[in-house]
Structure 1
Amino acid sequence: MESLEIGIDHYKKGRFEEALQVFNQLIASAGPQPEHLHYRARIQSRLGALDQAINDFDTLIGLDPYNTTFISDRAVVLHLLKRNEEAMQAFDQALNLDPNNPYRYSSRAYFRDRIGDLKGAIEDYEQAIALDPQDAISLNNKGLVEEKLGYQAASRKSFSEADRLTGYSPSQQKQPEKDRAESKIGNDASGPIAPQEAAPEKSKSLSVKHFFMILNKLVTDKATRKEFTDFIRSTFKGA
């Protein structure tokens, strides 16, 4: 009989096929325990089995309909499935249940950016920053959205404030400001992201790897950083 600890170890080390076997066995023997289902859903999303992942997240929501971690993770998978209206509803629900958490705003802001609601993304980043003025990553990402909209003065101001908070010096890097802005960010519980990992892919298509890589930049709130770290960290180890 496989143990939960073995499954988690496989998952954290990016051994997703092995982890999936463990959690399949645990669920078969112990029934749909929320922790087992949650790990399996995250593993399936890693493997690109999005329909299976969403089925597990639907079961989780049925078991615990007000768990904002389940709701937020499910929203991510809905977006990857291009079910964006449902994803927005899920992001909204997580935020309504946890309205003082800046991570909820920055998560929805990233989603809004992805679907082209740039002004809505800026509004959410501003809410996240108002709740956590030290949130350099939201400031940086807000600058990127402002840049897309052509708000050059506002974009420079956002980048400058993000630089001040992180101690980053643009003069030390010989690269365009936007590339510099994207490569400098991303310190979370799993360690700093290297520039080549944080730089955007040339393709505009949304791959699972790219989505989770960029979403990693959103996890800046100390109170909630841990809840999403395990969902993202294995992308880098398994890439």
Structure 2
Amino acid sequence: MENINILLETASSYCQKGDFKQGIHLYSQYITKNNQNPVAFYQRGKAYFKIKDYQAAQSDLSKAIKLKPDSAELYAERGLIYYMAKKQDAAMSDFNIAVEMEPENPFRYASRAFIKDHLNDLQGAKNDYQKALELDPEDAISHNNLGLVLGKMGNHKIAEKHYKDAEKLDPKNFGMKKSSDEKADVTPQPKPEPAPLPTIKSNQKEQAKSNFGNTVKALLTSSEERKEFWDFVKGKVFGS
């Protein structure tokens, strides 16, 4: 087990360096030895996503979901892949599932709002950003993005209030944006930071099983993972 875990770590290392094809090759080797690890499918799916093989990415995320059906994060990230593949209905279906699974998580509404905005569903985006702010009134990103949506809808006075709220909450990122022309939507970010990934010891099978579950959960809810994935989407799909 330790040897194949090293294989998984090496695959991840290649992907972090931008060598996605080699990473995919190593993930595939790992999966032939252990096809019950949702993290392996999730990570390989992300690598396929990076090289724009959306069909393979969708397949891997679907396999990860089958192994871990209680993960809202997997549904949300598959939704992003569907969106990139121009499967808008499938994308929104997955985002809806993620919201239903975590109705008290403001990040779920902000994520769906971000996509709705880019689908020109301004009313839907407005509603979701408002819900996100109801759950987390101190989310500067949602204030900023709601302001942009309201501006597009012609509600400039209320939009300015949200811009000012964003500036007060996060002056470093939003304090210098004085004009509407300089403003841009920002990819949603989750809060708070997850706990560090646990160490798995091969000679403690029961503890390893428990730790592995925690590892999967931590990886799939890692703010660093989410930020990297969302930033890539915004850069490649939305041209920012």
Give the TM-score normalised by structure 2.
Answer: 0.76
Post-superposition Cα deviations, 1:178-197, rounded to whole Å, max 9, x if no partner, equal 34332xx75xxxxxxxxxxx
Return 135-144 or 59-68, whichever deviates more: 59-68
Give the match for residue 222 of structure 1: 192
| Superposition pairs of residues 113-132 of structure 1, within 5 angstroms | 113-132=117-136
Q: Conserved in 1, the CA contact under 8 Å of 2:38 and 2:67?
A: yes
C-alpha distance in 2, partners of 1:42/1:127?
29
| Residue in structure 2 matched with residue 181 of structure 1 by the alignment | 183
Output the CA distance in 2 between the equivalents of 1:235 and 1:15.
18
1:150 to 150, 154, 158: 154
The structure number with the bigger radius of gyration is 2
Q: How far apart are 1:128 and its partner, in Å?
A: 0.7
- Flag structure 1 segments of 5+ consecutive residues without an equivalent: 187-216
Percent identical among aligned pairs is 28
Structure 1 consecutive aligned stretches of length 4 or more whose deviation exceeds 4 Å = 168-173, 232-236
Does the CA-based 8 Å contact 1:135-1:221 persist in structure 2? no
Give the counterpart of 1:133 among 114, 137, 144: 137
1:150-178 deviation digits (Å, cap 9, x = unpaired): 111111111111011112598856xx723
**Unpaired stretches in structure 2, ≥5 consecutive residues:** 194-220
Quick one: structure 1 residues 170 and 112, their matched pair in 2 at CA, closer, same or farther if it must change by over 3 Å? closer
Structure 2 matches for 1:20-39, cutoff 5 A? Answer: 20-39=24-43
RMSD (CA atoms): 2.7
**Shift in Å at residue 219 of structure 1?**
1.2
Deviations 1:100-153 (A, max 9, x none): 111000011011111111011011001111111110001111111111111111
The structure-2 alpha-carbon separation of the partners of 1:150 and 1:41, relative to structure 1 and needing over 3 Å to count, comes to: same
Q: 1:179 to 1:26 in 2, by over 3 A?
A: farther
Q: Secondary structure at the match of 1:75?
A: helix
- Indicate which of 30, 55, 61 corresponds to 1:57: 61
What's the CA shift for 1:89? 1.4
* Higher relative contact order, structure no. (Cα contacts within 8 Å, ≥ 6 residues apart): 1
Amino acid at match of 1:135: D
Offset of residue 31 of structure 1: 2.5
1:68/1:26 Cα in 2 relative to 1: closer, same or farther (>3 Å)?
same
Paired position in structure 1 for 2:167: 163
| Amino acid in the other structure paired with 2:99 | L
Tell me which amino acid in the other structure corresponds to 2:17: K
Equivalent residue for 2:229, pick from 212, 227, 231: 231
Alpha-carbon separation, structure 2, partners of 1:149 and 1:139: 15
Change (3 A) 1:172 1:36: closer
CA contact under 8 A between 2:168 and 2:175: conserved in structure 1?
no
- The TM-score, its normalising length taken from structure 1, stands at 0.76
The question of whether the paired residues in 2 share the 8 Å contact of 1:12 and 1:233 is answered with no
Inter-partner Cα distance in structure 2 for 1:229 and 1:171: 21
* Cα distance change, pair 113–169 in 1 and its aligned pair in 2 (3 A): closer
- Is structure 2 residue 49 aligned with structure 1 residue 45? yes
Aligned partner letter, 2:154: G
